[in-house]
Amino acid sequence: MSHRTKKILVVEDNRAINEMLVSSLQQELNIEIESADTMAAAKTIVDAQPKSFFLAILDLNLPDAHNGEIVDYVMDVGIPSIVLTGDKDTETEEAILNKGVIEFVSKNNPHAIRYIIESSRRLLENFNRKVLVVDDSDVARMLIVALLEKQNLKVLEAINGVQALKLLKVHKDIDLIVTDYNMPKMDGMELIQNIRMEYGRDEIGVIGISATNDNVVAVKLLKSGANDFIARPFSHEEFNCRINQNIDALANYKKLRLASTTDFMTGLYNRKYLFDTGTKLFQNAQRKNIKLSAAMIDIDLFKQVNDNYGHQVGDLALIHVSDILKQELREGDILARMGGEEFCVLCVNLEPEDAEVVFERVRKTIAESPLIYNDLSLSITVSIGYNDILEDSLDCLINLADNALYKAKETGRNKVIMGS
């Protein structure tokens, strides 16, 4: 079963907290929630579908389980858990954390619900995140791997910096690296320096670990490019907090990069990204390393859509066409919204005869796929202009495609004109 189809179990006897957790998690994570207010009810739910839950949020004290028995039961079933309690006892907290739960959250914290929601979101998104652990000690490495896997992270292992760099070349999607300082062949500091020659702090996070409390080691690793440093021995809670903080920071960097390169409405690349990336492709094409061509796509009579049906339907039409373009065009094509109802596609190594087939298929698919909104079925067509003549600049390449688009508009719309 895919993690996307799994659920969260909420076990909480306080009705208000239970309902708030369920509604907030459903609304913000768009995921199915099962809830119970007693241990008996929770066991009935879990026994019927033990592999359906990727996370449980548990009240420590229930009417039929006053001493945290629910935690033992759920952990024995193999469901990672966040424990929620009003008990401020430090000994109780340590005892629960020693059971291997992910988090221990106090109900007395006014931000408890928000904290749980964000922790749940991170655990769900962690299924798609990859971490590399680098340590020559099998025991130390196994401990860190176990802690990370409990956070739903995909974990790779290396015994030194040399092996780590080889793995990094193969696994380009590694998000975070946790590395020991003292290792044979290549130590943590040299590894970090090599990583930073290719990846910035906002691209791959690195956490350095050392058994020494010497601040000199921490400073060396941080100056080499580490995002963070943890001294051994560390508590599991401290380790988890540092991992989570770095993952959240990397996610925020990614969102900022995405916002600067994509169109907020359609999710396509924006004009800036098209020209930044397209200029490099154009230069490569001038050196005859690749073939580069461009197509301009415009929604026909789009102003009439806005005037007749309103801007909400107009926005839906833009999204509708964008989704079809993403489905019909090649993954390697650079597809961008240029503004308004106009789109541009930069195609690498697409032969003219293939281009005609591709864009005619795009035109036909859009024409045969009406936008359905409430009781409205709105037919949409597009005009497309294509060009593969390089000339002097990327602007010229796109302008020639735009001229072909203009001819398509002038000669009846809903057609493809191949420029020459």
Active-site residue numbers?
341
Q: How far apart are CA 300 and CA 410, in angstroms?
A: 11
Q: How far apart are CA 247 and CA 122, in angstroms?
A: 8
Q: Which two tokens stand for residue 330?
A: 């090649």
Q: How far apart are CA 142 and CA 146, in angstroms?
A: 6
Q: Which two tokens stand for residue 159?
A: 């015994």
Q: What are the strands of the beta sheet with 292-299, ordered from one edge?
A: 334-339, 342-348, 292-299, 382-387, 416-418
Instruction: Count Cβ atoms below 10 Å from residue 32 Cβ, excluding itself.
Output: 13
Judge contact between 221 and 189, C-beta under 8 A.
yes
- Name the β-bridge partners of 81: 56
The torsion angle over the Cα atoms of residues 116, 17, 7 and 40, rounded to 10 degrees, is: 130
The conformational region for residue 165 under phi > 0 = left, psi -120 to 50 = alpha, else beta, is: alpha
Q: How far apart are CA 81 and CA 8, in angstroms?
A: 10
